[in-house]
Amino acid sequence: MTIKLYQFAPAFGLPNTSSFCLKLETYLRMTDTPFESVYTTDMGKAPKGKMPYIQDGKIEIGDSNFIINYLKQTYGDRLDAHLTPSERAISLSMRRLIEENLYWVMAHNRWIEPDNWEKTKAIFFKDLPPLLRATVPNIGRKNMQKQLEGHGMGKHSSAEIYAIGIADLTALSDFLADKPFFFGDEPTSLDASAYGILANILETPFNSPLKDRAQKSNNIVAYCHRIRDRYYPISAG
Ligand SMILES: N[C@@H](CCC(=O)N[C@@H](CS)C(=O)NCC(=O)O)C(=O)O
């Protein structure tokens, strides 16, 4: 049975503007797992109230990490089985850096910075009926601000937030160095997570010192092209 991947629709020519949705779709493509995308914005149906989630027969799972654990257990660990314990430790730390820290820098960039907020509003809420379009985006923005403050990232100034994000990007670029993928010639699940956020920083119209830094990292730019060419030969969006 084909797995159903519930996620946001492509936008800006990128397969997904959610780093977690793009991560999971990339993981499925990297592992050659048959799946069908169901494009939705209905968080109410998501098991964890967040995107993405999957349905595999009668099983429904939310959260990209729980989903990947399930896929590994059910269909085999096609990307990470060869990693040593020390590489696994590095992989987990880097994925946490991406998903639990750098993600919030990107969220600040898109939802709080006034210029970018106009773009976020225009693209993420474009399908709402006009009456709802006047209220729902601002509720979403307030909710994001609350999440950012709860995390702690939202307590910092913009300059401090970008300095944090640039340090993360520098660590990713330095660790990638001149390798095709983070652990060598073939991708692992860290690459799915890294591509999810790096393509979202580089290939969306949200300007920031973060994007400027990513554009200056030749290895990161080439890495995103490499993954795009190999796993998304037909461009989306
Ligand atoms: N830990 C989750 C995070 C997923 C997540 O934060 N998704 C965002 C979209 S990028 C979302 O649905 N946010 C909606 C909300 O928090 O209300 C995962 O790995 O799937």
- pLDDT per residue as tens digits for the range 123-156: 889 888 988 988 999 999 999 999 999 999 999 9
What is the 8-class DSSP label of residue 17?
A: S
pLDDT score of 237 more than 60: no
The residue whose CA is least distant from atom 16 of ligand 1 is 50
Query: In this predicted model, which residue has the larger pLDDT, 109 or 126?
Result: 109
Q: Band the pLDDT of 18: cuts 50, 70, 90.
A: very high
Alpha-carbon distance of 213 to 193, in angstroms, equals 19
Tell me, yes or no, if the pTM score tops 0.95.
Answer: yes
Confidence of residue 27 (pLDDT cuts 50, 70, 90): very high
Question: For residue 110, what pLDDT is reported?
Answer: 98
The answer to whether 236 touches 13, Cβ cutoff 8 Å, is yes
CB 115 within 8 A of CB 210: no
**Sequence-ordered list of residues with C-beta below 8 angstroms from that of 82, at least 6 positions apart, any chain:** none
Taking the centre of ligand 1 as the mean of its atom positions, its distance from the CA of residue 65, in whole angstroms, is: 11
Domain ranges, ordered by start, for the chain: 3-231
Was domain 3-231 assigned CATH 1.10.287.370?
A: no
Residue-wise pLDDT for 175-195, tens only, equals: 999 999 999 999 999 999 999
Q: How far is the CA of 143 from the centre of ligand 1 (A)?
A: 13
39-54: burial string, b at 16+ Cβ within 10 Å, e else? ebeeeeebeeeebbbb
